[in-house]
Amino acid sequence: MNSTSPAEQRPWAVLRQFVRPRPPVERCELCGLGLATEHPHLLESATRQLHCCCDACSILFSGQQEARFRRVPSRVESLDDFHLGDEQWEDLHLPINLAFFVRSTAAGRVLAYFPSPAGATESLLTLEAWEQLVRENAILGTMEPDVEALLVNRLGTSNEYYYVSIDECYKLVGLIRTHWRGLSGGTAAWAEIGQFFAGLKERSRPSSGGAPHARPEL
């Protein structure tokens, strides 16, 4: 039986109002280890879902092409010398000036996606259009299937091209789904998109658009 009087309980009730609950810790979906804000991801081949993981679990699946999970490499490179003219872009028949391209093992070809309030939406991409891009930008021929992508931002006056890991693309998709309002998106959504690409540019390392940088040994 609680012998504390209501008057004695009142100060504790007031204090509890100012106690902030600890935010939930994100955990590795394989071993349960707590994760930092920035952490690796695994791609589940059958479902194309991304899974958060720790460094140790990520290394276990490095280079295993046929495994259930594929390690998503950490990669952000700006392609400053990328060749893609306005006419070539129009030939890709994308509804917006923002898209990413990934070589799909399941489809046996390169797929084009554009982020939308409904998620990542696939767009028609002809083989001829992609082959022309590869001829003019040799680095595209080195993209690791399913886990690396070409990310294109031609919004406004921007012409930005990045060679990135696929989780960066889905991070962009996620923030658009979260912040988009109405038909035009709203100020908050466009601010988030701008901040995303500003952060990507800050974190990126330059690439000439030719052969990729050597991957570090594990």
Residue 215: pLDDT band (50, 70, 90) is very low
pLDDT of residue 210: 46
Q: What is the pLDDT of residues 159-194, one digit of tens each?
A: 999 999 999 999 999 999 999 998 889 999 999 999
Task: Kindly state the average pLDDT of the residues 3-30.
Answer: 65
Average confidence (pLDDT) over 59-68: 76
Whole-angstrom distance, CA of residue 76 vs CA of residue 165: 7
Q: Residue 10 pLDDT more than 70?
A: no
209, pLDDT greater than 60: no
pLDDT category at 92 given cuts 50, 70, 90 is confident
Res. 144: pLDDT tops 80: yes
Instruction: Assess whether pLDDT exceeds 50 at residue 214.
Output: no
Average confidence (pLDDT) over 86-105? 91
> Minimal CA–CA distance to 79: which of 150, 178, 6?
150
- pLDDT for residue 147: 93
Q: Which of 20-24, 36-40, 82-86 has the lowest mean pLDDT?
A: 20-24
List the structure tokens of 61: 């699946």
pLDDT at 152 over 60: yes
Q: How far apart are CA 148 and CA 100, in angstroms?
A: 10
pLDDT score of 211: 43
Checking if the pLDDT of 158 tops 60, the result is yes
Question: Is residue 160 a contact partner of residue 153, using CB atoms and an 8 Å limit?
Answer: yes
Sheet holding 148-153, edge to edge: 119-123, 109-116, 98-104, 148-153, 160-165, 76-79, 205-207
